[in-house]
Structure 1
Amino acid sequence: MIELSLTELAAWAIGITMVVVVFFEWISRWSAGNAERRSVRKRVNCRLCLLVVEDEGRGRIFHCPHCGAENERGRNRSLG
């Protein structure tokens, strides 16, 4: 049988608890980061009124619900 003193038992209990807390904190941060990356992929910026909207659509053209302007999805570097 394994003999443990009360101080060793307390140290093991605190150590295991700390490991579990750190593990769940890591899982929480990883999950929040994934949610943020998914949200950023859905965001569309209107180039006329600067409204930022999360849109689930798959088309290349996005119609702004505020001003009605047509915008292209993705990064558009044109100056006109």
Structure 2
Amino acid sequence: MINLTLEQFSLYAVILSCAVIFLGGTIRRLRHRQLRRSRRRKFIRCRICGLAYTDYSAARDPECPHCGRLNDRGRTRRLG
């Protein structure tokens, strides 16, 4: 049999509930970050004509529907 006082039991209950809340918040933040990242990969702005469009294909360099230029998906590190 486990001997616990009321104070010990309430302390364990508070610690456990805080741990569950912390883990839930962490998981929620990770899922939200992943969702934002996937949305950012679908949103593309053409570097030539400036048209903003969404592309759901798996192509690495989708073609702009307005001017036909190939654009990089996501953030680019090019200077020009």
Q: Normalising by structure 1, what TM-score?
A: 0.74
Cα root mean square deviation, aligned: 2.3
Higher relative contact order (CA 8 A, sep 6+): 2
The 5 Å alignment of 1:1-80 reads 1-46=1-46, 47-48=48-49, 50-57=50-57, 58=59, 60-63=62-65, 68-74=66-72, 75=76
Unaligned runs of 5+ in 1: none
| Percentage of pairs with the same residue | 21
More divergent stretch after superposition (37-46 vs 10-19): 37-46
Bigger strand share: 1
Q: Normalising by structure 2, what TM-score?
A: 0.74
Q: Cα deviations across residues 3-45 of structure 1 (Å, max 9, x unaligned)?
A: 1111111100000000011011111011111111111111111
Q: How many corresponding residue pairs?
A: 74
